[in-house]
Amino acid sequence: MSNRVVQGRMVTPEKLAELIEGEAPLEAESIEDADRDCPDCGSDVIRVGYMPTVTEFVTGYKCQECDWSDTDRDE
C-alpha cells in the first residue's frame, strides 16, 4: 500500500519519511504495517524504508495517531 492516513492526513511514503526524519529523503519504499503498538498512545504504528543520504538506508516508524516516531539507527 503506498499512501496511508497519519494523524488525519493522507501521506505518501516520501512525506512519511520526511515526518520521521525532519527533511525530505532521497528515496522511500512503500509504507507497511509495523505489527507493533505505539508506546505513547497504543495506536497502530506503520513503517517506511528510506534513504536520507546516498550512503544510508533507514527504517522509520511512525504512529498513525500521535507525534511518536523512531528509526532503526544505532544512536
- Give which of 60, 56, 71 is closest to 4, Cα–Cα: 60
The x, y and z cell numbers of residue 75, run together, are 544512536
Q: What is the pLDDT of residues 9-42, one digit of tens each?
A: 999 999 999 999 999 999 999 999 999 999 999 9
**How many beta carbons lie within 10 A of that of residue 63, not counting itself?**
23
Whole-model pTM: value is: 0.93
- Give which of 28, 23, 46, 24 is closest to 36, Cα–Cα: 46
